[in-house]
Amino acid sequence: MSQRAANCPNCGAPVQFRWSSAIQTTCAYCRSILVRRDVNLERVGEVADLPPDPSPIQIGTEGVYRDKSFVLVGRILYEYEQGGWNEWHAVCQDGRSAWLSDAQAEYAVSFLTPHQGLPAANQVRPGQRMMLNGVVYEVTVLTRARYRGVEGELPFEYWDKSEALFADLRTPDARFATIDYSEDPPLLFLGEAVGFDDLRLKNLRQFEGWS
């Protein structure tokens, strides 16, 4: 994971990229949201105040998935009527970009997967089955969430969203899929549910009441 450095166009502070392919990052000093435009950084907004996070996971947390190490370099935070969750952007040892969903002590690792012919949002309902990459999944829940904020490095520009619809799907053997309807055409992420201990996480956030 080669690193690259630049300066924040708003405050001049150094901005260090953990991942050379990052499209968006945030300045740790002035909280500006920065997007790469060719070789330059452009300020497109400012990070809103994020709510307190009960998760021990943080940017810089390292772990292992399927015997390959990864480091978390960014986060998208969502809220919905039953709470909120984090989508952590992970960069894997082999350079791939992955996502660690951190939803109220339930975790899943997934990867963006090209797929043609995903159903439209108004055609999806809980209990529906669909074939994705040769595997039959069942829609378990539809979640309409509010974009709450970002931090760190992301593989795409993502800072001006308001609301998004997600369809979560599972199989009996713990495979996991999400269809993200915030984009057109929608995006498909495939992966699996994982246990916290299975990820062998280190560099976790320490706070009172958690061990």
Q: What is each CA distance from 150 to 63, 70, 142, 153, in whole angstroms?
A: 21, 20, 22, 9
Q: How far is Cα 176 from Cα 109, in angstroms, rounded to an integer? A: 8
Please, which residues bridge with residue 203 across strands?
none
- What pLDDT score was predicted for residue 69? 97
Burial of 138 (0-12, 13-18, 19+ CB in 10 A): middle
The low-confidence residues of the chain, meaning pLDDT below 70, are 1-3, 39, 207-211
- What pLDDT score was predicted for residue 38? 73
Q: Where are the beta strands (DSSP E) in the chain?
A: 4-7, 14-17, 24-26, 32-37, 40-46, 62-65, 68-80, 83-92, 97-103, 106-112, 129-132, 135-152, 163-170, 175-180, 187-194
- What pLDDT score was predicted for residue 1? 39
- What pLDDT score was predicted for residue 3? 53
The ranges assigned to domains in the chain are 4-46, 62-199
Q: In what order do the strands lie in the sheet with 24-26?
A: 24-26, 32-37, 40-46
What are residue 28's phi and psi, to 5 degrees? -70, -15
The class (CATH top level) of 4-46 is mainly beta
